[in-house]
């Protein structure tokens, strides 16, 4: 082997380093970032709950490294931390633009006291969640979220055409189901065969709904072969002579009242 070979190899190594070093420096933002700056940030979002100003404030501190050195994952993570942001998509457009597409959380229901469920069935937290109106109220153990969502959907289907509407679904830690209707009626379904018991009640409901002017205050479906109802007390008359005896507080519709689930 020629004695000059090691020297040539070293020379080639030095030459390659001198060529690669500037490229690495630019790509890593070590220098020359001001020669290819990011001068434009295009933001696309719905802006129902998060503003363009919030998004720009989260992304702007990361843009100073220059177009090549900018880490898109860092920008994506910074924007995704904003309240109401579900996810963000980021890409570069030559020569100086970063494009941001932001997808906001779309709340489907309230979960417990202070959290929300989005339309993908995921839990998230934002300030002021307890003040949102018009959302179903759901609750239960976090690991049973899918079960609660599924049962809520089943209840919505079962109540169609009944004149009743489900406002809240709750699953207790012991597995018992409870509904609250838009009328304020509380419906206890228990742990077993909840859907079957609900359907049994709704089959009978058209014959019962015309017997009282108001919706029932309480419905207990936790019977094996029937259910019990309690209607609200009538408002007291202003003329004592017109006061009528109070109706029985509870009406049972049972085929086998001895059996109770």
Which tokens is 41 given?
């940030």
- Sorted by where each begins, the domain ranges of the chain are 35-104, 136-254
Whole-model pTM: value is: 0.76
Which tokens is 57 given?
């404030």
| CATH 3.10.20.310 assigned to 35-104 | yes
**CB–CB of 217/231 below 8 Å?**
yes
pLDDT confidence tier of residue 238, bands split at 50, 70 and 90: low
pLDDT at 130: 83
CA distances 65 to 28, 39, 80, Å, are 8, 11, 20
Between CA 168 and CA 110 the distance in angstroms is 9
Query: Which residue in the block uniquely carries the two structure tokens 């209607």?
Result: 231
What's 136-254's CATH class? alpha beta
Portion of the chain with pLDDT greater than 90, in percent: 66
pLDDT confidence tier of residue 212, bands split at 50, 70 and 90: confident
Note the pLDDT tens digit of each residue in 4-56. Answer: 556 555 555 554 444 444 444 444 444 444 678 999 999 999 889 999 999 99
pLDDT at 233: 79
Between CA 64 and CA 31 the distance in angstroms is 11
pLDDT at 248 over 90: no
Between 242 and 84, residue with greater pLDDT: 84
- Percentages helix, strand, coil for the chain, rounded to the nearest 5? 35, 25, 40
Note the pLDDT tens digit of each residue in 190-203. Answer: 999 999 999 999 99
pLDDT at 3: 56
Which tokens is 11 given?
């020379």
pLDDT confidence tier of residue 236, bands split at 50, 70 and 90: low
pLDDT at 258: 37
Note the pLDDT tens digit of each residue in 95-142. Answer: 999 999 999 999 999 999 999 999 999 999 999 888 889 999 999 999
Between CA 25 and CA 34 the distance in angstroms is 12
Portion of the chain with pLDDT greater than 70, in percent: 77
Between 165 and 36, residue with greater pLDDT: 165
Q: 3-state class of 200 per DSSP?
A: helix
Query: Which residue in the block uniquely carries the two structure tokens 């100086």?
Result: 96
Between CA 23 and CA 110 the distance in angstroms is 51
**CB–CB of 125/116 below 8 Å?**
yes
Of 68, 60, 73, 75, nearest in space to 35 by CA: 68
Instruction: Report the relative pairing of strands 166-171 and 115-118 from DSSP bridges.
Output: unpaired
Q: Name residue 104's beta-bridge partners.
A: 85
**CB–CB of 169/148 below 8 Å?**
yes
- What is the mean predicted confidence (pLDDT) over 168-181? 97
pLDDT at 251 over 70: no
């Amino acid at each position: 082997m020629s004695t000059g070979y090691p020297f040539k190899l070293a020379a080639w190594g030095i030459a390659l380093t001198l060529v690669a070093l500037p490229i690495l420096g630019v790509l890593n933002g070590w220098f020359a970032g001001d020669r290819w700056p990011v001068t434009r940030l295009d933001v696309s979002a719905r802006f129902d709950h998060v503003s363009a100003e919030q998004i720009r404030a989260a992304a702007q501190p990361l843009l100073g490294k220059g177009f090549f050195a900018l880490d898109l994952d860092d920008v994506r993570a910074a924007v995704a931390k904003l309240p109401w942001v579900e996810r963000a998509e980021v890409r570069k457009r030559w020569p100086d633009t970063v494009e941001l597409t932001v997808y906001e959380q779309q709340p489907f229901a309230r979960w417990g006291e202070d959290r929300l469920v989005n339309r993908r069935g995921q839990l998230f937290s934002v300030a002021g969640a307890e003040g949102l109106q018009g959302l179903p109220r759901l609750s239960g153990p976090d690991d049973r979220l899918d079960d609660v969502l599924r049962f809520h959907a089943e209840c919505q289907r079962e109540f169609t055409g009944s004149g009743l509407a489900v406002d809240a679904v709750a699953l207790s830690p012991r597995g018992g189901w409870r509904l609250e209707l838009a009328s304020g009626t509380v419906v206890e379904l228990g742990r077993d065969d909840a859907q079957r018991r609900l359907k049994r009640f709704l089959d009978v409901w058209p014959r019962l709904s015309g017997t009282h002017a108001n919706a029932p205050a309480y419905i207990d479906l936790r019977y094996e072969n029937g259910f019990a109802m309690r209607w609200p007390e009538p408002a007291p008359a202003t003329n004592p002579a017109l006061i009528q005896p109070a109706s029985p507080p509870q009406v049972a519709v049972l085929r086998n009242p001895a059996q109770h689930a």
